[in-house]
Amino acid sequence: MDLERFLEQAHYVFLARHGKKTQAEVAKAIGIKHRTYVEYLRGVNKPLGMIALLNLLSQLPERDLVDLINEWKEQK
């Protein structure tokens, strides 16, 4: 799956969990500009850091992923 499709799926999962939101509201919730978010969804921009992080996380067991995400959430 390419990054554009992955982000699109993540967007729809977010909406399913958090209710109907605009792209601008989702962008604000994740801490980026609306235009940047739209460009990610359209595949205009494909940040290498995001790709590298997803590649790294995809190599970890599910339990480690949950632990890392929970730790990230606690720091915010």
Counting residues of the chain whose pLDDT is more than 70, the rounded percentage is 100
- Predicted pLDDT of residue 15: 94
AA identity, residue 76: K
| Phi–psi pair at 35, nearest 5 degrees | -60, -40
Give the tokens for residue 10.
């993540």
Q: Which domains does the chain show, CATH number per domain? A: 3-75 (1.10.260)
Q: Which residues contact 50 (CB under 8 A, 6 or more apart)?
A: 3
User: Whole-prediction pTM value?
Assistant: 0.76
Contact (CB, 8 A) for 37 and 23? yes
Q: In this predicted model, what pLDDT tens digit does every residue of 43-71 receive, in sequence order?
A: 898 888 999 999 999 999 999 999 999 99
- Predicted pLDDT of residue 38: 93
